[in-house]
Amino acid sequence: MENNSKKILETIFRLDPGVDLTQEQQDDLFTAMSPRCLVEAFLDTEFIGLRDQYATLKMDSLKDTFLPLKDNIKLLEQVAEVILKHLKDMRSQLCKGEIKSDLLRVVPILFECPAFDRPDKEWGDRIIRKMAEFLILMHETAKRNFDVLVRWWDADSDILARVIKVYVQAYRNLVKCLFNSKPISTDNLYIQMLTILREINESLGYKVPVNQFYIRQPGYEETNRKIEILILQLHQQHLQLSLLGLLPLGNLLFLLDVPLKWKMLRIEFNDTSLLHFTKTLNDILLKFEETFGIGSGIMFLIGSRHLKIRPEPLTLRFEIDDDKEKVVESAISKVECKNETSLLLPFEVYFKDNVSLGVNAGGPMKEFFSRLFEELFNVGKHSIFKKLDDSSSCTTLWFNKDSKELDKLRSVGKLFALMFYNKVIVTMPFPFLFYKKLLGNSQSSFEDLKLLDPGMAKSMGTLLEMSDDDLADYSFTVQGPLNEPEIELKPAGKDEAVTTANVLEYIELYARHYTASSQFDVFSESFRSMFRRFTLHRLFAPQELMSLFQGGEYDWKAFQGSFGYEKGYTANHRVVEMFWSVFHGDLTEDDKRDFLRVMTGADHVPIGGIQEIRPRMWPMGGDEDCKGKSPKDMCPEVNTCHGFIVLHLPRYKNREHLKERLMKLIEMKGHGFHKLVE
C-alpha cells in the first residue's frame, strides 16, 4: 500500500471539485494519508545516509501532489478531518522521550497540505490549532524529538518558513475575526506557537527573515490599517496592549513590522520629552515661588510667553558653529557635560552666522546630525572608526581598536542616542554586527567574526584543515598594538601551542578577541544609558534596527510620485517635467542618492518606503526671490522649516541651466542654500 500512496493521493486530489468520494476512496484516502504511508511515499532514499541531519523528503514531488487540492474546498475539508484523526494517533507516539525521527517526517509533509492555508474555515482552524497543540506538547515533554525537527529546520529553512507562514496566517485571521466581531478562541495558542518559532529562528541565526512574522502583510490593507490604529491608540494611552485579553504587548512585538514599531517608539519619545519638559518647568516655577513668593511663578511664565522667551533649562539647545570643520568639536563640547535626563528634553539646534537655518527643530536638526556624522565617519580626520579593509571601495566602518579617545567615543554614543531619540535617521556605515551588539544580544564568537569580517573568518577556518606540523608556529597569542606587547588569548597562552586537538578553542578565542572592542563597549554603554527605559532590545531584532538606518530598495518612480506641487507648479508644468527629465535621464544612481540625502538628511530609503517622504515642489524665481537676477542664476533650495520638505525650484528657461544648478546643489550637499550665485 505504501508504494501506491502517492498515486492514490494524486488520483483523489485531481477529482473534479464537488464530487463526492465513494466509500472506497474515503478508505484509500485515510490509509494513504497515514504517517507511515506519507513518509514512505515522499522519503528521498538517495540521501538516506543524511536522514538524521536532513528531513530528506522529495519536497518538489510533495508540493506537486498537494497542488491540485488547493481550490477544492469540499475535498480539503475531508482531508482536514483525516489529518485530525491521524494527529490524535501520533500524539501518543511522538510526545514521549523516545526519538521517532522517521515518524517525525510526517510533520513537514502535512504542513504542505493546502488545508493549513485555510484558517478562515472552521475545519482549517481546527487542524492548525491541533497541530500547534501537538508541537507545543512535544516541545515541552519530548524535547529530543522536537530537537530533531529543529535540526531539519536549520538544514532547510524553507520548511521552517512554511510553518511560520501557517501560524502567521492563522493569527492574522484571528485578528480579522476580532475586528469583524466574530467569535474567537482566547487561549493564545497561536501566540504560544509563534513565540516558540521566533525563539528557534533567533537561535538558528535568523534562517527565516524576521519580516515573515509580521501580521501586517501586503494584500490585507484594511486589516493592516485597523491593526495600526488600535495598537497606536492603546500604546499612546500607555495601556497594556490586549485585544480583549488576546494580545499582550510583550508577546506581540515580534509580530509588528518596523514602520509600526517606529511609530510606537516615536510616540514614546514624544511623551517622554513632554514629561521631562513639564517636570522641569514645574521645578523652575516652584523654585521661583519659593524665592519671590506665591504667584510669582505664574507671572514669570506669562512674561516669558509674552516675550517669547523659553528658559534655557526647559530645552536642550545647541548653538553649533556653522563651519563644517568644527561641527564635531562643537557638538562634543555641548553634549559631554549633559546628563541623560537633560538629553531627554525638547531639542533645538541653532547654527551660528546662518540665519536661514534658524532654530526650528526640523531642518536644522537634520542638517546638524548629517554634518556631524559625515565628519565623524571621515577616517582621515577622526581615528575612532576605521575601514573594515584597506580597499578604496570599502565603505563599511568599525571601531578602531587602537583609538585611545574613549571620552570622545562616550560623547559620540550620546550624540547617536540624541539623534535617534529626536527621530532623525542618518545613514550608518556599520555592519550587521553593530546592531546585533548594540541591542545587547551578542557574545563575541566565531559567528560574529563571520558577520564582521567574512574574509578573516574564512582564513581562520582553513586552520581546521592543518596538521600539527602546520600549526607549530601558532600559540594562544595575538599581536598587540604598535609598540605594545603581544596579547594572550588565555592565561599562559604564550606557552601553549595550537594543535589539531585545541584548534577549535583557538579559533573561538581569536574570534572573541577580534570582534570584542572596548571602544564599542564605551560607545554602546553611553547609547544604552539613555535608552534603558525604552527596552529597544525587546522592540527590535538586529535586522530591524539595521533597516532603520540603511533602509530598503530605491524606487525613483515612487519617489517622483510622492511629490506634491503647489504655488503654481503642477506635475505637467514645463519646469517640473524638465526637472524629472534631468533626474531620471542625467543623474547617476549615486547622484540620486546624494539628492535624497540633500532632501532628507540620509541617503537611505526611509521606513515605510521612499513614497513616505512626500516632499513638495514650489516655484522660485519671482522678483522677491531673485532680487532682480535671472532664474538661471538661482540655485534650488531645500527647506524643512515649514514642518515638511520643500524643494524650491527656480523657473529655469532651459534644461542645461536646470541640470547645472541641480548638480551644484548635490555637489554642495545642500549646505548653504538658499543663496544667489555670483
Catalytic residue ranges = 641
The owner of cell 548653538 is 319
* Helices and strands of the chain, counted as H and E runs: 31, 10
Three-state secondary-structure class, residue 400: coil
Print the SS3 string covering 495-509.
Answer: HCECCCCCHHHHHHH
Roughly what angle, to the nearest 10 degrees, separates helices 122-141 and 157-179? 130
> Rounded to 5, what percent of the chain is helix, strand, coil?
60, 5, 35
Q: Which residues pair with 488 in a beta bridge?
A: 477
Q: How far apart are alpha carbons 2 and 8 in whole angstroms?
A: 10
The owner of cell 522592540 is 539
Query: What are the DSSP calls for 341-396, one per residue?
Result: HHHTS-EEEEETT-GGG-S-TTHHHHHHHHHHHHHHT-TTT--SEEESSS-TT---
Cα torsion angle, 63, 66, 68, 72, sign: negative
The owner of cell 514512505 is 40
8 A C-beta contact, residue 433 and residue 515: yes
- 229 Cβ contact list (under 8 Å, min separation 6): none
Query: What are the DSSP calls for 141-153, one per residue?
Result: H-HHHHHHHHHHH
All 3 cell numbers of residue 380? Answer: 582621515
Three-state secondary-structure class, residue 256: coil
In 421-552, at which residue ranges do the beta strands (DSSP E only) sit? Answer: 477-478, 487-488
All 3 cell numbers of residue 430? Answer: 556599520
8 A C-beta contact, residue 252 and residue 201: no
- 569 Cβ contact list (under 8 Å, min separation 6): 575, 576, 617, 618, 619, 649
Q: How far apart are alpha carbons 266 and 377 in whole angstroms?
A: 26
Residue 473's nearest CA partner among 451, 499, 444, 434 is 499
Q: How far apart are alpha carbons 663 and 669 in whole angstroms?
A: 10
- Range 497-506 burial, b when 16+ CB lie within 10 A, else e: ebeeeebeeb
Phi–psi pair at 319, nearest 5 degrees? -100, 110
Q: How far apart are alpha carbons 176 and 170 in whole angstroms?
A: 10
Q: How far apart are alpha carbons 377 and 386 in whole angstroms?
A: 8
Print the SS3 string covering 55-74.
Answer: CCECHHHHHHHHHHHCCCHH
All 3 cell numbers of residue 497? Answer: 601551542
CA distances from 372 to 324, 364, 368, 395 (A): 8, 12, 6, 17
CA atoms within 13 A on the CB side of 285: 17
Tell how far CA 191 is from the center of its chain. Answer: 21
